[in-house]
C-alpha cells in the first residue's frame, strides 16, 4: 500500500517538473542543457519523494583495538627516536610485543 502511494506521488511530482522543463525547453536549443535539466529534475524528485536510505553500519574494530594500534604507533615512534643501541633494543622488544598483540586482536 505504501509503495503505491509513493509511486503515485513520484509520478505526480515528476510530471510537474517535466511541465516546467517543457516551458523552458522552448527557449533552450542545446541538447546538453536539456539533458542536464532532465537529469536534475529526476534526481531532485527522487530525493524529495524517496529520500536517502540510512545504513546501519557496524563497528569493524573495537575501541580497545584502536587503543592498541595507537600504543603500537607510539612505541614505533619512540623506537625511531632512540639514539643508543640499548634503548633501541628495549624499544624494539616493546614494539614487537605490541605489534603481536595488535595483529592477534585484528586477525
Residues 10, 43: one domain? yes
pLDDT digits (tens, 9 = 90+) for 84-98: 999 898 989 988 988
pLDDT digits (tens, 9 = 90+) for 9-20: 888 888 887 777
Residues 78, 40: one domain? no
The pLDDT, as a whole number, for residue 26 is 61
Does any domain span residue 56? no
The pLDDT, as a whole number, for residue 1 is 52
pLDDT digits (tens, 9 = 90+) for 41-76: 888 888 888 887 777 777 777 888 888 889 999 999
Please work out, in degrees rounded to the nearest 5, the angle formed at the alpha carbon of residue 87 by the alpha carbons of 82 and 88: 65
The pLDDT, as a whole number, for residue 25 is 58
Residues 7, 45: one domain? yes
Query: Could you tell me the residue range of the domain that residue 76 belongs to?
Result: 63-106
pLDDT bracket for residue 27 (50, 70, 90): low
The pLDDT, as a whole number, for residue 107 is 64
For 16-48, give one letter per residue: b (16+ CB within 10 A) or e: ebbeeeeeeeeeeeeeeeeeebeeebeeebeee
Does any domain span residue 89? yes
Residues 16, 45: one domain? yes
What predicted TM-score, i.e. pTM, was given to this entire model?
0.42
pLDDT at residue 7 tops 70: yes
Cell 523552458 belongs to residue: 24
Number of domains the chain contains: 2
Does any domain span residue 55? no
Residue among 12, 34, 8 at smallest CA distance from 21:
34
Contacts of 49 (CB under 8 A, 6+ apart): 6, 9, 10, 13
Is the alpha carbon torsion for 67, 54, 45, 29 positive or negative? Answer: positive
Amino acid at each position: 500500500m505504501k509503495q503505491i502511494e509513493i509511486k503515485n506521488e513520484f509520478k505526480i511530482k515528476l510530471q510537474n517538473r517535466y511541465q516546467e522543463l517543457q516551458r523552458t525547453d522552448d527557449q533552450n536549443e542545446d541538447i546538453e542543457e536539456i539533458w542536464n535539466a532532465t537529469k536534475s529534475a529526476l534526481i531532485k524528485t527522487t530525493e524529495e519523494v524517496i529520500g536517502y536510505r540510512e545504513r546501519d553500519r557496524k563497528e569493524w574494530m573495537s575501541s580497545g583495538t584502536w587503543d592498541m594500534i595507537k600504543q603500537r604507533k607510539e612505541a614505533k615512534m619512540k623506537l625511531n627516536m632512540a639514539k643508543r643501541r640499548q634503548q633501541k633494543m628495549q624499544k624494539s622488544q616493546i614494539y614487537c610485543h605490541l605489534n603481536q598483540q595488535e595483529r592477534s586482536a585484528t586477525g
